[in-house]
Amino acid sequence: MINIYNRKLHNPQFFRQFRCKESLITLYNCPLKDKFQDAWSHHSYIVYVVEGHKVWHTAQGSYELNPGDCVFVRKGAAILEQFFDGAFCLVMFFLPDDFICEVLRSKSFPLYQPDKKYEAVIALYSDEPVNAFFNSMIALFGSGLEPDPALIEVKFREIVLTLAGNTRNAELIAYFSALLQKPQEISLQMVMEDNYCFDLGLEDFAQLSNRSLSSFKRDFQKQFGCSPGKWLLEKRLDQAMHLLTHSDKTVTEAGFESGFGNRSHFSRAFRTRFGVTPRSRRVLA
């Protein structure tokens, strides 16, 4: 899978960008060549759509974004569906967890505490201050000048505080509250449950959970009672069996949508676990 943060960061000739420490802003208007792109990011990010539309397919559902839409995408994996009926342009803000927490702790007023469930893609309330903010960012890109990094940091703080200060963004604020309050164990479980059905490696899961690979393996073993490799294989095979027996997915689709990037590996692992091939299981269903 493509790490979209790293891809944009290391290709400034294609992705117009301003940088501030580990954070990044990108104005992106280069259409993809493929209709579907497997993508992930170890930082959460805000997306503001200027033109066109695209769909984010996640483990929790699909979310279509259209001009004027503003969403917060939690760190993790998704399949991005591109449409070729027009140009696509967006502004993206990548926000490391540490930065979000540092800004939230600097608030003069307590953070609103909503009892709200949050999804992988969180719709944001696009009021006049939010629209004005993104228009100011587009103007910065259009000026052709390179702003001082101190200004970019102020802009990052501005958007976090603006969104966190509007109680209509209850779902986002619930996630922000979780970042401030939840122990690492819950964070690790959320990362695994939300992303096991994507073709991510152990190094990617370690990065998503803000751990080194060795710390990730140690903490995972302690919390789940098995190795992450074994847990991932079992979860992915169970998901593939579910898709083969409860949907009209083909064998290739079931393997892909369960996190298996290699069909041969999927077939061998499935037969070892269940004693039948994926194709025969689909016929039986």
**Where do the structural domains in the chain lie, given as residue ranges?**
2-181, 183-285
Residue 97 is predicted with a pLDDT of 92
Counting Cα atoms < 13 Å in the Cβ hemisphere of 89 gives: 11
The three-class DSSP label of residue 47 is: strand
> How far out from the chain centre does Cα 123 lie?
13
Residue 38 is predicted with a pLDDT of 87
| Residue 260 backbone class (left: φ over 0; alpha: ψ -120 to 50; beta: rest) | beta
The three-class DSSP label of residue 183 is: coil
CATH topology of domain 2-181: Jelly Rolls (2.60.120)
| Closest of 155, 118, 142 to residue 44, by C-alpha | 118
Residue 33 is predicted with a pLDDT of 66
| CATH homologous superfamily of 183-285 | Homeodomain-like (1.10.10.60)
Counting Cα atoms < 13 Å in the Cβ hemisphere of 181 gives: 8
pLDDT tens, residue order, the chain (285 aa)? 899 999 999 988 888 899 888 888 988 776 566 677 889 999 999 999 999 889 999 988 899 999 999 999 999 999 998 887 778 889 999 999 999 999 999 998 888 888 888 999 999 998 889 999 999 999 998 888 889 999 999 999 999 999 999 999 999 999 999 998 877 767 899 999 999 999 999 999 999 999 999 999 999 999 999 999 999 999 999 999 999 998 989 999 999 999 998 899 999 999 999 999 999 887 665
Residue 31 is predicted with a pLDDT of 58
Q: Each residue of 57-87: b (16+ CB within 10 Å) or e?
A: bbbeeebebeeebbbbbbbbbbbbbbeeeee
Q: How many residues does the chain have?
A: 285
Residue 127 is predicted with a pLDDT of 87
Six token digits for residue 184 = 């690492």
Residue 84 is predicted with a pLDDT of 79
Please tell me the pTM assigned to this model. Answer: 0.89
